[in-house]
Structure 1
Amino acid sequence: MTATDAGTSESSASYPTHQVLNQPPPRVGINEYTANIPLAQYLQTVGEAGVSATGGLEAVGAVVGSAQFQEDARLAHKNAPILHTHNKYGQRIDEVEYHPSYHRIMGEAVAAGAHTSAWARPEVGANATRAAAFMLFAQVEPGHACPISMSHAAVESLQLAPDLAAQWLPRLYSRSYSPELVAGKAGALFGMAMTEKQGGSDVRANTTVAVPDGENFLLTGHKWFCSAPMSDAFLVLAQDDAGLGCFLVPRTLQDGERNTFLIQRLKDKVGNRSNASSEVEFANTVGWRIGDPGRGVKAIMGMVSQTRLDCVLGSAAGMRQAVAEAVWHARHRRAFGAKLIDQPAMSNVLADLSLESEAATVVSMRLSRAFDHDAVPSERAFRRLATAVTKYWVCKRGPNHAYEAMECLGGNGYTEDFPPGHAVPGTTGDGDLGGGR
């Protein structure tokens, strides 16, 4: 027997350094809803959701906690979208290619109603129930939550244009997901394009122009940020004779032709890698007015307010995942003669992380309740103020919360191989805390 044969015949277990000890198992196969006791309790008490919501959310919790969903989340994060401006024949196509895992995640979220179920089935607790579903999906894969959120948020602005609402709302309410840009498909998703190079948040400095063209308008200009450019339609701000207006811009026109939607480049973002953000140019691009002439900011603020709520929900979801991963690691890892979770200093850190996560969860449910009771003046006033304040605080605290949770994992917390909940089936990796998203 050769030396090589002898080497290969020996089990790797005979080498002490090849034995993997004191590492936590993969955190998979856990129902993320039933395991999240604060969310389940506050949903029914503070959020006023009925017990009928439980079944659907338990199903969502099982999906996002599965090894398959977490593997899809890992793949979507690792395989960033790719822009194709032209096809091989030189024709302009302006398409963004996503990894198949991204589409599987989107399909699950849409099928669960994480986008527009609060509008499609309005009842007491509807916004809290939809918020809980959104948080569960965003907890494991936050990037796809952008188009899911904007589709939910677009409904309020669309209601200002009854004719357009009649055309688009049934498709927004659909639980059918298809990534192809084709006219007449059952489901649709919405995006938003406000920001320009010279203005940023100062949208009244926008230079994109809308010129009347019969019943619609033709838009020309450049948008510095356009989120989720493969969405089916967008709400866009542009100047016309009456001032700054809000317009609905579809990717595909009713006759099946592509609207002029020139994707110049994708943003090379420091986070949110799975979802594309882009720069877009309009050149006689067809659009329809939303709201009153010259009142574009007012028209789009309904969408902005709804997405602010989802910013709170997404940050709260990130906090929950950070706590879940930190506690899981501490329950399985030993150091200095005891499990980490039994070490006083570590237990104090975990308690602080859990407390802040629970606080973000309960305020998310309280805000969602205010959106359910928007017709009540006191609730509407609370929504207007508290949404902005809470978005500032919870989103500001999110990264610091993640930093602390990452430290609980030691050096593993600072490697890309340990994203939370993105464990590869069959491995022992369980998680970076999402701070690098």
Structure 2
Amino acid sequence: MHSTHQVVNQASPLSGFDPLACDPALGSALTRYVVGDLTPLALEAGSAEAREHGRLADENPPQLRTHDRYGNRIDEVEYHPSWHWLMERAITHGLHAAPWGQGPGAHLRRAAGFYLWSQAEAGHGCPISMTYAAVPALRWSPELAAEHEPKLTARRYEFGLRPPHEKSALLAGMSMTEKQGGSDVRANTTTAEPLADGTYRLIGHKWFTSAPMNDLFLTLAQTSGGLSCFLVPRVLPDGSRNEIRLQRLKDKLGNKSNASSEIEYTGAIGHLIGEEGRGVRCIIEMVSMTRLDCVLGASANIRIALSEAAHHVQQRSAFGARLADQPLMQQVVADLALESEAATTLAMRLAAAVEQQEHDLLRLALPATKFYVCKRAPHVVAEALECLGGNGYAEESGMPRLYREAPLMSIWEGSGNVTALDLLRALAKQPTSRDAILAELDAAAGENAAYDDALRRVRAELADPRPERARALAESLALALQASLLQRYAPASVSDAFIATRLVDPGRTFGSTPVTGAKSLFDRIAPGQ
């Protein structure tokens, strides 16, 4: 027998690593905002166990069971055990609604934890995020908030359909989109009829309702007073199933572990949140928080893709040299590192603004960042995948899962045009937001001539906002915010390289504009360095 197969020059799997130790942007933010030690969470997120559960949850998607064996309607979704493991760990770490009502720093700690944990698997972040975001919207009705908030914030995972009053912990979802309107929720046709006991009967359909096994859902429906917001439980107090029919699960590009369903309300009972006709005002509280999680999720996807690429090129050799030592590969990975550092730094600044209730700053900075960072994620992941060559195109590498996930954050909670146009609405309805974001940008003025030139262009865009320029405005604002933050909080080698490659001579592909100090930037972010 002759041996013809010897495995050499292959990178080991990236597992059992510390995603915090190789992330100087996050480490700097944790120190700056006095968040505390997240090492135990980070080590678990990078463990072989967590990463294996992430793979299994994605490869074994949920299954819809509309009826039991006897023909009774049950409308249940079955999940793989790895989904439940990921959910239980996320909730135990307090990444859902736990920060509400806690002391200073709770929201920042949760944001950083959500970013780290999402690197293990992204799909289960959807119900975690929606539960977090439901609390401020629910507070428009103090009685409902008093009843449900303690269980939404509890650090326990109780899967299964039972009346909310029988459970010690609850999860929340949102159910807004309809097939004829999409982001235009005012086109919704679902109706809500008031009943004698103060509840409402809802009839209609919803085109996207994720995590349909959650306990409570915030939804929009038309009343005589206009579009209104309701809290709809999956199970009624008497133990009977609410009239919510799961029609089918979406066959999505990515996000496979998370069940996204089409549902029908066939007389579902709901509780009015706030006042009739003020549904958009109420639900926007939830959307703002989930938009922040879109930025955190996209930044996490960028970061884990970068880690995979850097890990691979440290161990792989070609043409007589290690990939990590070859100048052009250093340029590519360094460019990806700049993108990751800028995204993470800005995401944590937005989390700090939520913590500190900087509403004027968030009104412009959040949609601009959501637009830009989420749109950059697919480009970063594609380039990181290519660093692995053909290995990166194989499912076993895990890179295709990251790539399929990457476009989602740009679509969820308002696609590009919707988010960009939101900037114009903010400038018209909340002029103080302009002053707040300029104050943030001016904090770095006078240190770099190229940045100052970009800041002048941003001022001109803000002074003359036009619909056809909404995307340009969003991009300019996000880039200027990133450059401002990096100048203040990152080493000069990082901020100067970012400004040179994003504001002065932006290339159309990563690595096409020379990055000064590429080797040091690579070493700064590589796992195991």
Match of 2:354 among 371, 395, 402: 371
Report the counterpart of residue 69 of structure 1 in structure 2: 50
Report the counterpart of residue 132 of structure 1 in structure 2: 112
Using structure 1 for the length normalisation, give the TM-score: 0.90
Report the counterpart of residue 194 of structure 2 in structure 1: 212
How far, CA to CA, are the matches of 2:68 and 2:369 in structure 1? 45
Match of 1:335 among 306, 318, 321: 318
Matched residue type, 1:304: V
How far, CA to CA, are the matches of 1:245 and 1:296 in structure 2? 4
Match of 1:161 among 122, 129, 141: 141
Match of 2:370 among 371, 391, 396: 391
Task: Please tell me whether residue 114 in structure 1 is matched to residue 99 in structure 2.
Answer: no
How far off its partner does 1:33 sit?
A: 2.3
Are the structure 2 counterparts of residues 365 and 258 from structure 1 closer, same or farther at C-alpha, using a change threshold of 3 Å? same
How far, CA to CA, are the matches of 1:405 and 1:32 in structure 2? 17
Report the counterpart of residue 42 of structure 1 in structure 2: 29
Match of 1:249 among 209, 229, 232: 232
How far, CA to CA, are the matches of 1:39 and 1:110 in structure 2? 21
Fraction of identical pairs, as percent? 51
Measured against aligned partners, the alpha-carbon deviations of 1:137-163 in whole angstroms (never above 9, x if no partner) come to 111200001010000000110111111
Higher helix content, 1 or 2: 2
How far, CA to CA, are the matches of 2:185 and 2:352 in structure 1? 30
Matched residue type, 1:108: R
Report the counterpart of residue 360 of structure 2 in structure 1: 381
Contact 1:33 1:60 in 2 (8 A): no
Matched residue type, 1:390: T
How far, CA to CA, are the matches of 1:301 and 1:406 in structure 2? 36
Measured against aligned partners, the alpha-carbon deviations of 1:340-377 in whole angstroms (never above 9, x if no partner) come to 01000000000000010000000011100110111xxx
Report the counterpart of residue 348 of structure 1 in structure 2: 331
Report the counterpart of residue 486 of structure 2 in structure 1: none
Matched residue type, 2:34: A
Q: Give the 5 Å matches for 1:306-321.
A: 306-321=289-304
Task: Please tell me whether residue 88 in structure 1 is matched to residue 72 in structure 2.
Answer: no
For structure 1, the residue ranges without an aligned partner over 5 or more in a row are: 1-6, 8-13, 420-430
How far, CA to CA, are the matches of 2:306 and 2:217 in structure 1? 35
Contact 2:99 2:153 in 1 (8 A): no
How far, CA to CA, are the matches of 1:230 and 1:34 in structure 2? 36
Task: Please tell me whether residue 149 in structure 1 is matched to residue 137 in structure 2.
Answer: no
Q: Give the 5 Å matches for 1:290-309.
A: 290-309=273-292
For structure 2, the residue ranges without an aligned partner over 5 or more in a row are: 406-529
Measured against aligned partners, the alpha-carbon deviations of 1:244-282 in whole angstroms (never above 9, x if no partner) come to 000000111122221111000000100100001010000
How far, CA to CA, are the matches of 2:25 and 2:183 in structure 1? 35
Q: Secondary structure at the match of 2:232?
A: strand
Report the counterpart of residue 202 of structure 1 in structure 2: 184
Contact 2:177 2:185 in 1 (8 A): yes
Report the counterpart of residue 518 of structure 2 in structure 1: none
How far, CA to CA, are the matches of 1:329 and 1:315 in structure 2? 21
Matched residue type, 1:389: A
How far, CA to CA, are the matches of 1:19 and 1:64 in structure 2? 32
Measured against aligned partners, the alpha-carbon deviations of 1:58-97 in whole angstroms (never above 9, x if no partner) come to 1111111111111111000001110000000100000011
How far off its partner does 1:432 sit?
A: 4.6
Match of 1:434 among 389, 394, 402: 402
How far, CA to CA, are the matches of 2:12 and 2:179 in structure 1? 47
How far, CA to CA, are the matches of 2:242 and 2:55 in structure 1? 33
Using structure 2 for the length normalisation, give the TM-score: 0.75
How far, CA to CA, are the matches of 2:30 and 2:174 in structure 1? 29
How far, CA to CA, are the matches of 2:94 and 2:203 in structure 1? 35
Measured against aligned partners, the alpha-carbon deviations of 1:373-392 in whole angstroms (never above 9, x if no partner) come to 11xxxx21111111111000
Contact 1:412 1:432 in 2 (8 A): no
Q: Secondary structure at the match of 2:403?
A: coil
Match of 1:409 among 364, 369, 388: 388
Contact 1:402 1:433 in 2 (8 A): no
Report the counterpart of residue 422 of structure 1 in structure 2: none
Matched residue type, 2:11: P
How far, CA to CA, are the matches of 1:122 and 1:246 in structure 2? 29
Report the counterpart of residue 522 of structure 2 in structure 1: none
How far, CA to CA, are the matches of 2:21 and 2:86 in structure 1? 20
How far, CA to CA, are the matches of 1:126 and 1:363 in structure 2? 18
Highest RCO, 1 vs 2 (Cα 8 Å, sep ≥ 6): 1
Matched residue type, 1:373: Q
Q: Secondary structure at the match of 2:201?
A: strand
How far off its partner does 1:42 sit?
A: 1.4
How far, CA to CA, are the matches of 1:43 and 1:115 in structure 2? 19
Matched residue type, 1:61: A
| Number of aligned residues | 402
Report the counterpart of residue 104 of structure 1 in structure 2: 85
Match of 2:7 among 14, 20, 31: 20
Q: Secondary structure at the match of 2:61?
A: coil
How far off its partner does 1:433 sit?
A: 6.7
How far off its partner does 1:37 sit?
A: 2.5
How far, CA to CA, are the matches of 1:178 and 1:415 in structure 2? 36
Matched residue type, 1:359: A
How far, CA to CA, are the matches of 1:15 and 1:119 in structure 2? 62
Report the counterpart of residue 58 of structure 1 in structure 2: 39
Q: Secondary structure at the match of 1:139?
A: coil
Contact 1:322 1:433 in 2 (8 A): no
Contact 2:228 2:277 in 1 (8 A): yes
Contact 1:49 1:129 in 2 (8 A): no
Report the counterpart of residue 160 of structure 2 in structure 1: 180
Contact 1:217 1:287 in 2 (8 A): yes
